[in-house]
Amino acid sequence: MRRIIRRKKSGYALGIALCFIGLIVLFAVLWKAWPNVFASDDVFSALESYLWTKEFDFGLGVRLKLMHLTMMGAVALVLGIFVLAFSRQVFSVYAGENVLLQCPFCKNHWKASRGRGLAECPHCRQFVQPTVVRIGK
């Protein structure tokens, strides 16, 4: 398993925002629906019919059925999880990218995968803190 040294911050922010929006929407819908359905014998079918019949008024003539709102919330949540997983994957690939390192003692160069603080110089066999010369494949 590769070590994670830097996060794809934009991806994470987007993913977290989507998850957050999705959760808030789902929670809000449930919060609104719950007092109307919890007393019935079959909570799930009562919830379903409630979501199909009730509409949420955003104002300005924009109305959405609660069921559609629920679906949008669920989609946002799933999308957010995907974005989070994807940015993590992108990040792992990035972490495995090769860099050209330079030994501070013998000044020789060698290639290594990114993310290691200390490394053994393959030329002088010393344990050193190498300088990054170039980032590349």
- By CB under 5 A, name the binding residues for Zn ion: 103, 105-106, 121, 123-124
Residues comprising the chain, all counted: 137
Cβ atoms of 42 and 79 closer than 8 Å: no
How far apart CA 16 and CA 38 sit, in angstroms, is 30
How far apart CA 61 and CA 49 sit, in angstroms, is 23
What residues are paired with 134 via a beta bridge?
A: 100
Which C-beta is closer to Zn ion: that of 89 or that of 131?
Answer: 131
Give the shortest CB-132-to-Zn ion separation in angstroms: 15
Give the shortest CB-107-to-Zn ion separation in angstroms: 7
Give the shortest CB-76-to-Zn ion separation in angstroms: 52
Which C-beta is closer to Zn ion: that of 10 or that of 126?
Answer: 126
Q: What residues have CB less than 8 Å from 9, skipping those under 6 apart?
A: none
Give the shortest CB-99-to-Zn ion separation in angstroms: 16
